[in-house]
A and B are shown apart, each in its own frame.
Chain A
């Protein structure tokens, strides 16, 4: 009895306090159902208040790109909040410029829903879905670049445009993270997504991708990206890739030749050595079927004496300079590679009569 009383009293007190707090929480922190108005009435969601905007949107199948999984460390989940988001938090300011703060840009993972909220997101994001997929094949195309073919399971089909990308979920010690990869399979192959990934030592996403085996289950979201291919068959296409920037080109080229077999198209690809070359035979095969398709590979490192190479040498912008005719024909260029390469190629293309509006490149 002498021990029981204090234990009972203390436990009773704690239970009392806990109950009081729970009741208070019920009454006070109950925001009820809040409305999220996306793009001025395009889509109106009803979600439970109290959670973050990112998780509420994800639950309602609106997928905002995010690499860190909602911890506020990547700054990718930027959206514009027009009304009802509360003040900008200290956790967001490192990722927002003054102009963005004025425009109402917020990190969706840091905005807590406490009232009805109005947001603006790029329209394409409304089409983004989360897919589960199974690894169908993996193939090393060079010593450090792997091609992974994912067979979609749920949903079973993806509707993507060439130049768009998906985010592949990869495990990390701090929970799942997402890494963006361009889709390399043509857009008419709706039940698969093919990715081309170079192994970066220490990289979370690329290490995961390189260790995937046939049959492994994966999760991805997409498609993301604003690029739109010119629908006019008279517009000549110039694709220039460097290093491992091949995936969007492959998608563009195969999609184009499925729809317009006679469309004029160039592919320039720059890499360092013969061991970095991939897809050359496939593209040469395609070029035999479609005479208006021209493939140029350029090697930038000096050849070793025993190697044979009958393609171009030097950096890829020199090959572009050599092959592309100056003139005012309707042309459009798509570039993928490191910024110095893009800069060099853009300079060459400007000399050939391309205007900046004719040139698209991957945001690096």
Chain B
């Protein structure tokens, strides 16, 4: 996969291969934190940062530790450990240097640890045999795509507050349906660029 430019991967990760709307990863926090736009944007920013950084770290760990030692099958557990440790570090860093951001992100910061989109991006980068530049572009693009999706649905859910949703569909059910419709809408981007 050496021939695709990182920029194309970036665009693809945002629109055509949106980690959330094409792969349906990271649904849990997507549904839980998409009630208001500002919090959704805060969580999105944190996800972009963690996703980009952990993809880079995991790339190094995979290619320079696991592959030479023939321990590729350890990738899942190792990636999870790296992500968890990195989120801890980010939390400490933000608490020390930007108390304001720390308080506005609140519980969302540690929640990122269990966001499967982050793990998913690291695993895709291995399956698709990306180079380092491609991986970082893919991680960053994946984060931006996830953020775009969560902000869009937060906007829709804010509007939906006063619409008369039939009783069985209220809450998460209608959010899932909207997500499906959004995913179909994103398929309109499909011809733009294509990676795998």
Contact = CB atoms under 8 A, between A and B. Distances in A.
Direct contact, A vs B (beta carbon within 8 Å): yes
Given A9-B69, A13-B65, A21 B88 contact: yes
Given A21-B85, A21-B89, A28-B93, A6 B99 contact: no
B113 to A, nearest CB: 13
A10 B78 contact: yes
Interface in B107-149: none
A58 to B, nearest CB: 24
Interface in B53-81: 61, 65-66, 69, 71, 73-74, 77-78, 81
Nearest to A88: B103
Name which of B71, B77, B85, B106 has the most chain A CB atoms within 10 A of its CB: B85
B78 A25 contact: no
Given A9-B69, A89-B103, A114-B99, A17 B74 contact: no
A5 interface: yes
Taking each of B81, B93, B100, which has the highest tally of chain A beta carbons within 10 Å of its own beta carbon? B81
Contacts of A20: 85, 89
B85 A5 contact: no
A86 B103 contact: yes
B96 A29 contact: yes
Given A28-B93, A86-B99, A9 B88 contact: no
B69 A87 contact: no
If over half of B's interface residues share one DSSP class (helix, strand or loop), that class is named, otherwise mixed; here it is: helix
Interface in A12-35: 13-14, 17-18, 20-21, 24-25, 28-29
B96 A28 contact: yes
Contacts of B93: 24, 28
Given A10-B78, A21-B88, A5 B71 contact: yes
A212 to B, nearest CB: 42
Contacts of B178: none
A13 B81 contact: yes
Interface string B27-53: 000000000000000000000000000
A11 to B, nearest CB: 11
Is the contact region of chain A dominated by helix, strand, or loop, or is it mixed? helix
Contacts of B92: 21, 24-25, 28-29
B74 A14 contact: no
A5 B68 CA distance: 12
A87 B74 CA distance: 43
A6 B71 contact: yes
A14 B96 contact: no
Given A28-B92, A28-B96, A87-B103, A9 B74 contact: yes
B82 interface: yes
B69 A14 contact: no
Contacts of A18: 85
A87 B65 CA distance: 44
29 contacts: A5-B71, A6-B71, A6-B73, A6-B74, A9-B71, A10-B77, A10-B81, A13-B61, A13-B65, A13-B81, A13-B82, A14-B81, A17-B81, A17-B82, A17-B85, A18-B85, A20-B85, A21-B85, A21-B88, A21-B89, A24-B92, A25-B92, A28-B92, A28-B93, A28-B95, A86-B103, A87-B99, A90-B106, A114-B99
Given A5-B69, A20-B89, A28-B93, 4 more contacts: A14-B81, A18-B85, A86-B99, A87-B103
* Interface pairs A-B: 6 shortest CB-CB: A17-B85, A28-B96, A28-B92, A6-B71, A24-B89, A6-B74
